[in-house]
């Protein structure tokens, strides 16, 4: 008995939920918005229909009633092509798209474009939507303006309708039946038609007012360009500011340790911190300047090149990191973009040595930068500390090095040696590589 009552209660709850969903679909907020949208479509149809009626009315000079009714329907058919032609104006999609978003659920509304149609494919889709909007709007408007008052009259049976009731009674229809039943049925028909046609328009809105395949491709290309620019800025900020902060941290720590025992070294470390900070601010201004340019890809980021490699090594020497550098001459003849990327790669590699050298302090490193076989080769090795051996995958810096190398159609390798005592970073960049 208890199980049966539970099943009945669950069934009643399901029925109530279904009834609420049906009522919402017919009379809910979105259904009302769709009705308003359809009535506006009927209003937009009127000028085209009146023009077609005037033109076709000349075909019936005798004004026969049956012919006039047929001409009204013919005028409806003739008005739709005229509406389709006017919908080819690009701004029509912007207006219709903005209005159609109210018809759809939020997830589908985002698929509707609210910009002007810039291709003929988009214009043809907009014309098809506009014709459907006006056709469905004309149907719903006619039913609402003519059918709704008649249905109310049938339900309420106001004075002056005696002849109508007498007409039904003479044919054997009970006088109480036609009014309430037929009026309610007519109202239900109007509401159901409006909800159904509104739902059809909402279903077709993303299809007809959504982006064309060409627009989707162009949007994907724009997103890819924005993402590439963001990654590029992130790499510049990571390599320039990250390097400066690492160097400043090491120098500040060294100055704090010998502040009393070796004031001269501490003062030298503080001067190095000041110099590093000023250089970092200058590079930060250069990187942030890219954000103010309308075309960030037109000009490469301003920054140091391989010509400033000696300054970088001297700066690192102040932190205690000694580098045995083998740098080929005449690197200033390399293309500017290649030289900038190569400098950032060397900078990030040395910063990783400085940052992850292990508890024993900065370890000596070997650096080789030289052209060979039509490409620029960069090789950096350093003994591994105990902490570094546990990070074979590297962090953002190594990923940024790989992205820089790939942007110039080069490659890189990074990882510990087989015996786990040395870390090696090798990068090769084609001298004629293009982004």
pLDDT of residue 141: 93
CATH top-level class for 218-430?
alpha beta
> Distance between CA 400 and CA 416 in Å, rounded?
18
Q: Is 341 left (phi over 0), alpha (psi -120 to 50) or beta?
A: alpha
Q: Is the pTM of this model over 0.75?
A: no
Of 130-144, 234-248, 294-308, 345-359, minimum mean pLDDT range: 294-308
Structure tokens at 290: 């890219």
Instruction: Please calculate the CA angle 431-294-242 and round it to the nearest 5 degrees.
Output: 60
**Mean pLDDT computed over 358-377:** 76
Name the average pLDDT for the chain: 80
**Mean pLDDT computed over 318-327:** 82
pLDDT of residue 125: 93
Residue 376: phi, psi to the nearest 5?
-95, 125
Tens of pLDDT, residues 46-74: 999 999 888 887 776 666 667 777 888 88
- Which residue, 298, 379, 376, 285, is CA-closest to 335? 376
The domain spans of the chain are 24-211, 218-430
> Distance between CA 198 and CA 104 in Å, rounded?
10
Residues 79/84/85/86 CA torsion (nearest 10 deg): 90
Structure tokens at 242: 């990250």
Beta strands in 21-135 (DSSP E): none
Of 215-224, 265-274, 361-370, 381-390, minimum mean pLDDT range: 381-390
Q: Which residue has the higher pLDDT, 305 or 300?
A: 305
Query: For residue 362, is pLDDT > 60?
Result: no
Q: What is the DSSP letter of 252?
A: H
């Amino acid at each position: 008995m208890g199980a049966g009552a539970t099943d009945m209660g669950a069934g009643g709850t399901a029925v109530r939920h279904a009834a609420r969903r049906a009522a919402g679909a017919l009379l809910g907020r979105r259904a009302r918005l769709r009705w308003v949208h359809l009535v506006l479509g009927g209003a937009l149809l009127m000028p085209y229909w009146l023009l077609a009626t005037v033109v076709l009315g000349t075909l019936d000079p005798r004004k026969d009633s049956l012919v006039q009714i047929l001409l009204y329907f013919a005028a409806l058919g003739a008005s739709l092509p005229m509406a389709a032609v006017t919908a080819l104006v690009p701004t029509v999609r912007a207006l219709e798209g903005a209005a159609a978003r109210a018809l759809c659920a939020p997830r589908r509304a985002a698929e509707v474009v609210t910009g002007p149609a810039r291709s003929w494919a988009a214009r043809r889709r907009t014309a098809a939507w506009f014709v459907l909007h006006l056709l469905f709007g004309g149907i719903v408007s006619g039913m609402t303006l003519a059918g709704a008052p008649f249905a109310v009259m049938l339900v309420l049976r106001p004075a002056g309708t005696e002849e109508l009731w007498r007409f039904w009674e003479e044919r054997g229809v009970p006088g109480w039946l036609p009014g309430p039943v037929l009026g309610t049925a007519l109202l239900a028909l109007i509401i159901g038609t409006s909800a159904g046609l509104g739902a059809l328009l909402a279903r077709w809105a993303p299809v007809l007012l959504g982006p064309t395949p060409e627009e989707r491709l162009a949007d994907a290309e724009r997103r890819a360009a924005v993402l590439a620019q963001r990654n590029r800025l992130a790499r510049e900020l990571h390599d320039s500011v990250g390097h400066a902060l690492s160097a400043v941290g090491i120098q500040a720590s060294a100055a704090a340790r010998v502040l009393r025992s070796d004031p001269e070294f501490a003062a030298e470390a503080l001067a190095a911190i000041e110099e590093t900070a000023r250089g970092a601010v200058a590079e930060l201004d250069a990187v942030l300047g890219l954000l103010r340019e309308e075309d960030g890809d037109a000009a490469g980021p301003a920054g140091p090149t391989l010509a400033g490699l000696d300054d970088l090594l001297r700066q690192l020497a102040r932190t205690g990191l000694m580098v045995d550098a083998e740098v080929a001459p005449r690197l200033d003849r390399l293309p500017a973009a290649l030289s900038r990327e190569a400098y950032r790669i060397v900078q990030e590699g040395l910063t990783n040595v400085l940052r992850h050298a292990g508890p024993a302090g900065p370890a000596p490193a070997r650096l080789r930068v030289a052209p060979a076989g039509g490409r620029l080769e960069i090789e950096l090795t350093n003994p591994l500390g105990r902490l570094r051996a546990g990070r074979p995958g590297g962090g953002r810096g190594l990923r940024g090095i790989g992205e820089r190398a790939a942007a110039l159609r080069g490659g890189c390798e990074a990882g510990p040696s087989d015996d786990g005592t040395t870390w090696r970073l090798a990068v090769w960049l084609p001298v004629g590589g293009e982004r």
